[in-house]
Amino acid sequence: MTDVNARIQDLIDSNDVVLFMKGTRDMPQCGFSSRVAGVLNYMNVPYQDVNVLSDADIRQGIKDFSDWPTIPQLYVKGEFVGGCDIITEMTLSGELDQLLSQKGVAFDQAAADKIREANA
């Protein structure tokens, strides 16, 4: 395993939910990252943000690791879930709630319901 792969593996092993993003959870620097961080923040999902803009090795390494060409990338309990489009769809369909529940990750169900109501 390369050094960067080991670092990524360590991040996703040590945190139930990890968002590889541009910027930080409180100051995203890209609209796609901002959307996913916004959903997680609003739903009160506990997660670790990893700013790929401050680490070029991770920025490339996470794309190779997941075999997914873009940022953001969300991992839940060690599994790659998707980027902005996928997370948006899963949020609106309720699949994200299901996944988090199945994996035992806490979140605010009322907030998740509100997102769907607002987008109905």
Ligand X SMILES: N[C@@H](CCC(=O)N[C@@H](CS)C(=O)NCC(=O)O)C(=O)O
List residues binding ligand X (CB under 6 A): 22, 30, 32, 59, 70-72, 83-85
User: How far is the C-alpha of 59 from the C-alpha of 22, rounded, in Å?
Assistant: 9
30 is in an annotated binding site: yes
For residues 40 and 53, give the distance between their C-alpha atoms in angstroms, rounded to a whole number: 20
By beta-carbon proximity to ligand X, the closer residue of 11 and 86 is 86
Choose between 83 and 115: whose C-beta lies nearer to ligand X. 83
Cβ at position 22, least distance to ligand X in Å: 6
What is the rounded CA–CA span in Å between residue 111 and residue 77?
22
Distance from chain centroid for Cα 11: 12
Residue 89 or 108 having the CB closest to ligand X: 89
d(CA 31, CA 72): 10
Binding residues: 30
Bind-site residues for [2Fe-2S] cluster: 30
